[in-house]
Amino acid sequence: MSEQYVTLAEVRDLLTEEHEKRELFSSQKNAMEHARTISPLSVEDTKKIVEEVRAIHGITDYAAVKIADLLPNYPEDVRAIFSKERLNADPKTIEQVLGVVSKYL
């Protein structure tokens, strides 16, 4: 079994689609509402962000998805995401990440 990270926008759409078919458990409803509240972008835009950020040298799939979910606006936000993965938070990489995110806000 392989791991695949999904964005909150994908979770939102998957749970909304499932909710149209059947009654969700309360935890699923809570997750759906959380994703609706937190994720303002479309699945297409979040996938584009993941692809573009993933193309930046050294950024993992996990970090790319977190960036698409959190949409960081400040260098400190990017550093916080990178600290979880122990990625190199050099100014050039941070600037590239912020540049990608700003195109979709």
> Residue 86's pLDDT is what?
82
> Residue 102's pLDDT is what?
97
CATH class of 43-104: mainly alpha
> Residue 75's pLDDT is what?
97
Rounded average pLDDT over 84-96? 89
- DSSP letter at 55 equals T
**Tell me, what amino acid is at 67?**
I
Q: Exposure pattern of 65-99 as b/e (b: 16+ CB <10 Å)? A: bbbbbbbbeeeebbeebbeeeebebeeebbebbbe
**Tell me, what amino acid is at 46?**
T
> Residue 33's pLDDT is what?
96
* Of the candidates 7, 5, 6, the residue with the CA atom closest to the CA atom of residue 71: 7
Domain-by-domain residue ranges, the chain?
8-38, 43-104
> Residue 85's pLDDT is what?
82
8: Cβ contacts below 8 Å, ≥ 6 apart? 34, 35, 38, 39, 46, 69
User: What's the pLDDT tens digit per position in 20-73?
Assistant: 999 999 999 999 999 999 999 999 999 999 999 999 998 999 999 999 999 999
Q: How confident is the model at residue 88 (pLDDT cuts 50, 70, 90)?
A: confident
| 93 pLDDT above the threshold of 90 | yes
> Residue 20's pLDDT is what?
97
pTM of the model: 0.91
